[in-house]
Chains A and B, each alone.
Chain A
C-alpha cells in the first residue's frame, strides 16, 4: 500500500523558518517524481514545488521561489521542504503528492499524504 506521511508543521512567526518532511512507503521512492501542494484554510489547492528522483530538475511556484527549497533523500525514502522567510500568506495545510509513473506523458498526482498544517502568525 502506498503511504505518504508528512510532518514538521506548526506555528511559526513571520520571517521564521520551518522544515517539512514526507516519509513514503509502499513504492520505490527513487523512481518517482514528487511534489508539494498547499491549501490555505478554506481555500483551493496550490502547487508549490516539484523534484525528480535525481534532484536534477526542480520547479517552484512563483509565490515561493527564492524562499522555499525542495529536496529528497532516497536512502531515507523522504521528501523535504525547507521554508524560509515565512509570511502570513504561507499559512496552509501542506501535502506531499506523488507524481504519476513515467509514461512519456506529463505527470498528474496519483497519491497524496494526509497533510501537515503550517501557521504563520505572531
Chain B
C-alpha cells in the first residue's frame, strides 16, 4: 500500500502570507496526486489534480507542484476563506489520503 505523509499537521499564518504544504508518498506515483480542501462540517472539495492542474472554479492563488514522491500545495496569499483542512490523495494505485493539514489564520 502507498502511504501519504503531509507536513505540517497544523499551520497558522497571517492574511496575505504565502503558505506551503508538503505531501510525500512512500513510493513514486508519477503525477497522480490530487489536493482537496475541507471546511468544517462540509464535504471535501477538489482543488488540484495531476499534481498541478487547477480544478474548475478554484482561485488562482492555489497552485500545486511536484512529481515522483514529493509534492507541494501553495496558497500565494492566504485569505480568511482558506481556513480549512487540506488533504493530498494519491491515485496511482487505488486511493490513499494524507492525514491532513489544518490551516488557521493568526
Residues of A within 8 A of B (CB): 35, 37, 44-47, 50, 59, 61, 95, 100, 105-115
Total count of chain B residues near the partner, CB < 8 A = 23
Cβ-defined contact, B91 with A113, below 8 A: no
A46–B94 Cα distance when bound, in Å, is 11
By the criterion CB–CB under 8 Å, are A106 and B92 in contact? yes
A-B contact count (CB 8 A): 56
> Majority SS of interface residues in chain A?
strand
Contact check, B43 vs A115: say whether CB atoms are below 8 A apart.
yes
A112 near B96: Cβ-Cβ < 8 Å: no
Interface set of B (CB-CB < 8 Å, partner A): 32, 34, 36, 38, 42-46, 49-50, 55, 87, 89, 91-92, 94-100
B55–A106 CB distance below 8 A:
no
For the complex, what is the distance from the CA of A95 to the CA of B96, rounded to whole Å? 15
Known: A44-B87, A45-B87, A47-B97. A108 touches B92 (CB 8 A): no
CA distance A106 to B90 in the complex (A): 10
Query: Which one, B45, B49, B94, B100, contacts A44 given CB within 8 A?
Result: B100
